[in-house]
A and B are shown apart, each in its own frame.
Chain A
Amino acid sequence: MLGRISWISIGIALAIAVLFPPLSGMSFHVLNVAIIMLIFILFSSAWNFLAYSGQASLGHAAFFGIGGYISTILARSAGYASFATILVGGCVAAFVGFLLGLTCVRLKEWFLAMVTFGFAVILQVVVATTLSETTGGWDGMISPRLIPISVDNYLVIEYYVILAATIVSIVAIYLIIRSRAGLAFAAIRENEVEAQAAGINPVSWKLIAFTISSFLAGISGALMVHHIGFISPEVFSAENSFWPVIYSIFGGLGTISGPIIGTTILTIVWDGLKELGLTYERFIIIGLLLIIVVIFLPRGLVSLPEKIRERRAQRKKE
């Protein structure tokens, strides 16, 4: 299953993640960036899990936002955010994902991309206008903090809570992918007709993947809004749909470590470029990186060591 090198790198990554707050000198800004990064690791992993079954969504912000809105509305009436509100947010996102999935699982790549993208656009309008009495319309509304600001070191506690949620979710994804279900997903992704011939029902398996992925996206959205303390229809923006795609491709499509590595490195690059005072150039650089990775490193950064080894072997032969 996992080689020794993998275990060592997982151990190092975990150690860094756990020791990060004291190492960062408890800086408010750095912790904030790290928390948002963790949430996006979870969100990207949810997107990437769907891609593992061969489905690429361009509208995952829809589920991210549903999780955020449901949890916020519940938390506002209860007076505080809790695991229960976040879980309900995730479950509602999963249910909506299931309903949308009923249509999506029969669609081919671009059609699926279009429907998911369009769904997020429609949802944004519905939440901002039709449901404005409950959602606060375009102005949005305050979302109770995950950990109230009055608590000592609330940001550090928030960091550990979100770290735990992210780790649990990634382990769950890992276990699913390693199970028989994972084999079914991979078979469908590689060749749907052959998978069907082998007795796998592509429609129901793809629907399961869609539901699980929506659930996790909903959880990450709920964590995000309770961290920021605010939610508005902007949560459904295309930007929020595209980031998990970019992070996952950059790290490695269809791998567990891909979204983790992709999100971490791009967050560092993104923040570093911001420190340099770049604005539009940041987006240009990210866009170029994306194009370069898709053309030259289609399996993402995780395949880089392998690629270098291949190159070396080739050179030796010559």
Chain B
Amino acid sequence: MALDVGVLLQVLFWGLYAGCIYILLATGLTLIFGVMKIVNFAHGELLMLGAYITATVFALTGINPYSIILLTMLILGVIGIAIERSSFRPILGTGKLNEIFISLGLIYVIQNAAALIWGDERQVLTSPYQTITIPLGPIQMPVDYLIIIMVTGLILVGLTLLLKKTSLGKAIRATSQNRKGAQIVGIDVERMDMITFGIGAGIAGAAGTLWVVSGQVFSPYIGSIPAIKAFAIIILGGLGSIPGAIIGGLIYGIAENGAAYFLGGAWKDAISFLILIVVLIFRPTGLFGESGE
């Protein structure tokens, strides 16, 4: 098999595009982890809900599916807050195993609630720009990919501005750096938990919109594996680090599509965990993690 530039470029762009979904999930997870020091393994179910909400609104109104992204983020934000208050707040500080168990319960509840509401058939949505491609060297790049990469960039810029420039962002960062210190200076840390969880869930919802609009198959069970990979990404990139999540997401997207192309489709999921295990053998606290905390 001769390697030509066209194929490599194709794999690279698939990877970039797949990486966007991972980046959005991983950013939300790492943001929540920074503030609450918990990991929500059910984070991918929020992506799945986002996908279905977008598809449902699209089916009802027929408007451009990309424009539904804000509404999806808002709804998911509210759902996220509800999940934080009902399930995670009661177990804060009771041991790390409990959050894994709660996540497991949430995965079962959310997946099957979705299957109950929308059915568990695999569905696809067609993007209005499906036929439009942009010539890029030797390959034809779908314009949808370009939009998705841009939207992801926009969300990340927006998040960075929120965290760096607003007083709410400062409060979130303060809670993330030192929870007790933040409490002492009068920040309502529980409110920050709630808001952060809402933001993380909203971003996962956006990932869901991008997922359906780009014509990927969706069903109630699409969320789990991407979420677990997103967690692998933040382990590699350093728990709580947003730049780490972005770089890790890109690496994963590209590595995965490379593996699917060169080793066969079945390796797409396995390669991510292989990378994770190999890294953890040599660095038990992750690539950039210091204490593993």
Contact = CB atoms under 8 A, between A and B. Distances in A.
Contacts of A119: 273, 277
B235 interface: yes
B107 A287 contact: yes
A17 interface: no
Contact of B277 (A56, A115, A298): A115
A134 interface: no
30 contacts: A107-B280, A108-B284, A109-B96, A109-B97, A110-B39, A110-B96, A110-B235, A111-B285, A113-B100, A114-B231, A114-B235, A114-B276, A115-B277, A121-B269, A122-B277, A125-B270, A126-B270, A129-B267, A245-B101, A280-B113, A281-B116, A284-B112, A287-B108, A289-B105, A294-B91, A294-B105, A295-B87, A295-B102, A298-B94, A298-B98
A103 B267 contact: no
B281 interface: yes
Q: List 10 tightest A-B contacts by C-beta distance, closest first.
A: A118-B273, A287-B108, A290-B105, A287-B109, A291-B105, A283-B112, A280-B112, A125-B270, A109-B96, A287-B105
Nearest to B90: A295
A284 B228 contact: no
B104 A280 contact: no
Interface in B105-141: 105-109, 111-113, 115-116, 120
A284 B108 contact: yes
A109 B112 contact: no
Interface in A117-144: 117-119, 121-122, 124-126, 128-129
Q: Place the interface of chain A in its size category.
A: 35 or more
A122 B91 contact: no
A288 B276 contact: no
Interface residues of B, number: 44
A122 B272 CA distance: 9
A260 interface: no
A103 B101 contact: no
B264 interface: yes
Nearest to B231: A114
Interface in A169-196: none
A290 B97 CA distance: 13
A298 to B, nearest CB: 7
A124 B273 CA distance: 12
Nearest to A59: B273
A58 B280 contact: no
A184 B65 CA distance: 58
Given A103-B277, A284-B109, A284-B116, 13 more contacts: A51-B97, A103-B281, A109-B97, A111-B285, A114-B232, A114-B235, A115-B277, A121-B270, A121-B273, A291-B87, A291-B102, A291-B105, A294-B102
A281 B108 CA distance: 10
A118 B277 contact: yes
Nearest to B115: A280
Contacts, number: 123
Contacts of B39: 110
Contacts of A288: 105, 109
Given A129-B266, A284-B116, A108 B292 contact: yes
Contacts of A280: 112-113, 115-116, 120
B224 interface: yes
A204 to B, nearest CB: 16
B278 to A, nearest CB: 10
A294 B264 CA distance: 40
A281 to B, nearest CB: 7
A246 interface: yes
B105 A118 contact: no
Given A103-B281, A115-B277, A294 B108 contact: no
Nearest to A248: B101
Contacts of A274: none
A241 to B, nearest CB: 10
B274 interface: yes
A295 B96 contact: no
Interface string B240-278: 000000000000000000000000101101101110110
Nearest to B229: A118
B109 A291 contact: yes
Contacts of A246: 104
B61 to A, nearest CB: 27
B292 A290 contact: no
A253 B91 CA distance: 16
A90 to B, nearest CB: 23
A200 to B, nearest CB: 20
B280 A115 contact: yes
Nearest to A120: B273
